[in-house]
């Protein structure tokens, strides 16, 4: 720890270099000329791989030392800076753990980057369908039994990929799942993009890092004080080669990594290492106060806050209390409508609104006054719903889905001949594009899957309630791309 304390931060090194008078005959093209460009953006500390500042892809100097500090603190075999977000870590991790054309087991509610890896590497996907939480209309955890049964049926699987916590904060039993995976000598990759804060407080679920996952991808920028696009990849086991993971990261991550972003990772880590206990104690207190106030709600519901708790959600193994998912089901108010009220009347910008839900994401950087405003706003909206409460809402306006029938592999559908089909006439056709709500970026329909009437109803309901639903060709709500029938013979 003495070495860590004495080591200058990356930001300090960059500031020292900026003040040194060194003339930059190198990239980037702004040449740190703040006289011309102003000081609104961090031009002065934005450099490339020059002497004394190491090279992320082949680190042997200060960047290697910084990443080793993180690995020591987290107790990992290797930890890697990611400046292309968690997406590059997921792509690299899947490629490092699988052979081209191999078989991969994934949670069906995985982020679209997992599907893009399957597409790029020609993998065969076997889906794990999460349990359903009907009361809130969201996905629950991946059951341990489903993992055990799937791996018994598919012993040739090369990797298992799960998301925990989910966008809404639902956590799976990673320790038990990792044990089953390892009994089959199959590595487990956990997309913990929304759980990077788990390492810093016992009031939150344990991180997959300490529960046996072989590779854990964390988005620092989602729930910790770090700039957008900053993430970490943590390698903990021996089932994935660290050399191959590093090689794949050099493929999927920029060859010109931003030193500004890397300095943000370093500063975030140092802040939480040195002051995390105090920061999280205060944060947990703010969440407790908020949750107590939510007991006054009569019409709105907040998942696992107020009068709701994980105990009444048997499909959850655990829950991330930092996520605040507000349900307006049965009130006559949509999630988008709720978000618009909170924005226009209370200056609160939600992370996401879909169907009957709105999601607020919190962190150690939320002030007590911000949490007070959120609580007061929800109580005010709740009081205004007295006359509308009791109206029935449709469960179609959620991100729940029944697993569609798979007609061919993802890459086959995407490389086939395609046609634009009116949405109303698409039932029975095979999708040739992704359909997803963003955020959170989880595909509702994957290329190669048969389109059914339930999917059409779901899309219509989501669009009617103001949810942003996207497709590769952006033809919705009028058209969807399908495989031309002659291409289905394969």
Q: Identify whether residues 153 and 219 lie together within a single domain.
A: yes
pLDDT for 489 equals: 47
Kindly state the tokens that stand for 432.
């040739």
Q: Identify whether residues 48 and 166 lie together within a single domain.
A: yes
Domain that holds residue 362: 283-386
Q: Identify whether residues 88 and 216 lie together within a single domain.
A: yes
Q: Identify whether residues 236 and 301 lie together within a single domain.
A: no
Would 159 be classed as within a structural domain? yes
In a 3-state reduction of DSSP, which class is residue 462?
Answer: helix
Gyration radius of the chain over CA positions: 23
pLDDT for 438 equals: 78
- CB-neighbour burial class of residue 101 (10 A; exposed 0-12, middle 13-18, buried 19+): exposed
Kindly state the tokens that stand for 178.
């990792």
Q: Identify whether residues 224 and 361 lie together within a single domain.
A: no
pLDDT for 355 equals: 87
Query: Where a domain ends, among 271, 302, 323?
Result: 271
pLDDT for 400 equals: 65
Q: Identify whether residues 195 and 256 lie together within a single domain.
A: yes
168-190, pLDDT tens digit by residue? 999 999 999 999 999 999 999 99
Kindly state the tokens that stand for 47.
């450099």
Would 401 be classed as within a structural domain? no
Confidence of residue 3 (pLDDT cuts 50, 70, 90): very low
Kindly state the tokens that stand for 124.
């065969």
pLDDT for 465 equals: 80
Confidence of residue 393 (pLDDT cuts 50, 70, 90): very low
Q: Identify whether residues 127 and 192 lie together within a single domain.
A: yes
What is the pLDDT averaged over residues 316-320?
Answer: 98
Nearest CA among 83, 22, 82 for reference residue 52: 22
CATH of residue 356's domain is 3.90.1150.10
Would 51 be classed as within a structural domain? yes
4-15, pLDDT tens digit by residue? 457 899 999 999
21-57, pLDDT tens digit by residue? 999 999 999 999 999 999 999 999 999 999 999 999 9
Q: Which residues of 130-157 are buried (b: 16+ CB within 10 A; e: fewer)?
A: bbbbeebbbbbbbbbebbbebbeebeeb
Q: Identify whether residues 190 and 60 lie together within a single domain.
A: yes
Kindly state the tokens that stand for 428.
């029975």
Q: Identify whether residues 266 and 288 lie together within a single domain.
A: no
Helix (H) or strand (E) holding 72: helix 62-74
CATH of residue 437's domain is 3.90.100.10
Query: Where a domain ends, among 207, 242, 271?
Result: 271
Cα–Cα distance, 225 to 222 (Å, whole number): 8
What's the number of CA atoms in the CB half-sphere (13 Å) around residue 361?
Answer: 20
206-253, pLDDT tens digit by residue? 999 999 999 999 999 999 999 999 999 999 989 999 999 999 999 999
Would 191 be classed as within a structural domain? yes
What is the pLDDT averaged over residues 325-332?
Answer: 95
205-218, pLDDT tens digit by residue? 999 999 999 999 99
Contacts of 473 (CB under 8 A, 6+ apart): 420, 433, 479, 481
Confidence of residue 126 (pLDDT cuts 50, 70, 90): very high
What is the pLDDT averaged over residues 74-95?
Answer: 98
Confidence of residue 486 (pLDDT cuts 50, 70, 90): low
Q: Which residues of 325-360 are buried (b: 16+ CB within 10 A; e: fewer)?
A: bbbbbbbbbbbbbbbbbbeeeeebebbbbbbbbbbb
Would 403 be classed as within a structural domain? no
Look over the chain and give the mean of its residue pLDDT values, rounded to a whole number. 94
Q: What share of the chain in percent tops pLDDT 70?
A: 95
CATH of residue 262's domain is 3.40.640.10
Mean pLDDT check: name the lowest of 89-103, 305-319, 381-395, 468-482: 381-395
pTM above 0.85, yes or no: yes
pLDDT for 403 equals: 86
Would 391 be classed as within a structural domain? no
Q: Identify whether residues 107 and 242 lie together within a single domain.
A: yes
Cα–Cα distance, 302 to 295 (Å, whole number): 9
Q: Identify whether residues 40 and 111 lie together within a single domain.
A: yes
pLDDT for 234 equals: 98
Please check the confidence at residue 305 and state whether its pLDDT lies above 60: yes
Q: What is the DSSP string of 88-128?
A: HHHHHHHHHH--TT-EEEEETT--HHHHHHHHHHTPEEEEE
Please check the confidence at residue 395 and state whether its pLDDT lies above 80: no
Q: Identify whether residues 137 and 220 lie together within a single domain.
A: yes
Cα–Cα distance, 336 to 94 (Å, whole number): 35
In the block, residue with structure tokens 């590779």: 215
Query: Where a domain ends, among 271, 303, 322?
Result: 271
What is the pLDDT averaged over residues 396-401?
Answer: 61
Confidence of residue 152 (pLDDT cuts 50, 70, 90): very high
Q: Give the count of domains, the chain.
A: 3
CA–CA distance from 139 to each of 171, 304, 443 (Å)? 10, 14, 13
């Amino acid at each position: 720890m003495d070495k860590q304390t004495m080591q200058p931060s990356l930001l300090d090194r960059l500031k020292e270099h900026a003040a040194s008078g060194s003339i930059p005959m190198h990239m980037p093209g702004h040449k740190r000329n703040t006289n011309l460009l102003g000081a609104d953006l961090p031009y002065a500390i934005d450099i490339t791989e020059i002497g004394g500042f190491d090279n992320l892809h082949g680190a042997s100097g200060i960047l290697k030392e910084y990443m080793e500090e993180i690995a020591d603190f987290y107790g990992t075999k290797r930890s890697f800076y990611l400046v292309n977000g968690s997406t590059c870590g997921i792509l690299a991790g899947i490629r490092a753990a699988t052979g081209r054309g191999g078989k991969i087991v994934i949670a069906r509610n995985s982020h679209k980057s997992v599907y893009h890896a399957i597409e790029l590497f020609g993998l065969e996907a076997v889906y794990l369908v999460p349990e359903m939480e009907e009361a809130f209309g969201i996905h629950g955890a991946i059951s341990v039994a489903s993992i055990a049964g799937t791996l018994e049926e598919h012993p040739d699987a090369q990797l298992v990929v799960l998301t925990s916590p989910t966008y809404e904060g639902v956590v799976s039993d990673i320790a038990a799942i990792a044990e089953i995976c390892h009994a089959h000598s199959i590595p487990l990759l956990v997309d913990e993009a929304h759980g990077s804060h788990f390492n810093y407080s016992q009031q939150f679920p344990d991180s997959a890092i300490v529960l046996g996952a072989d590779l854990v991808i964390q988005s620092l920028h989602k729930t910790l004080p770090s700039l957008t696009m900053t993430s970490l990849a943590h390698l903990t086991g021996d089932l994935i080669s660290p050399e191959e993971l590093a090689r794949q990261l050099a493929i999927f991550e920029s060859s010109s990594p931003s030193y500004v972003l890397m300095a943000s990772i370093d500063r975030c880590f140092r802040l939480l290492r040195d002051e995390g206990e105090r920061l999280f104690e205060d944060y947990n207190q703010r969440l407790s106060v908020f949750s107590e106030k939510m007991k006054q709600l009569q019409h709105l519901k907040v998942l696992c806050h107020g009068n709701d708790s994980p105990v009444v959600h048997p499909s959850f193994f655990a829950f991330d209390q930092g996520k605040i998912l507000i349900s307006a089901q049965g009130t006559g108010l949509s999630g988008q409508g709720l978000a618009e009220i909170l924005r226009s009347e209370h200056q609160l910008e939600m992370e996401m609104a879909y169907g009957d839900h709105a999601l607020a994401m919190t962190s150690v950087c939320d002030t007590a006054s911000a949490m007070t405003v959120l609580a007061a706003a929800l109580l005010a909206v709740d009081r205004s719903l007295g006359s509308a409460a009791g109206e029935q809402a449709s469960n179609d306006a959620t991100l729940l889905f029944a697993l569609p029938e798979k007609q061919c592999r993802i890459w086959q559908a995407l490389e086939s001949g395609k046609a634009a089909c009116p949405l109303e006439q698409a039932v029975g056709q095979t999708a040739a594009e992704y359909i997803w709500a963003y955020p959170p970026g989880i595909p509702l329909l994957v290329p190669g899957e048969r389109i059914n009437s339930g999917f059409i109803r779901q899309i219509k309901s989501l669009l009617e309630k103001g949810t942003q639903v996207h497709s590769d060709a952006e033809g919705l709500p009028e058209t969807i791309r399908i495989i031309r029938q002659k291409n289905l013979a394969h």
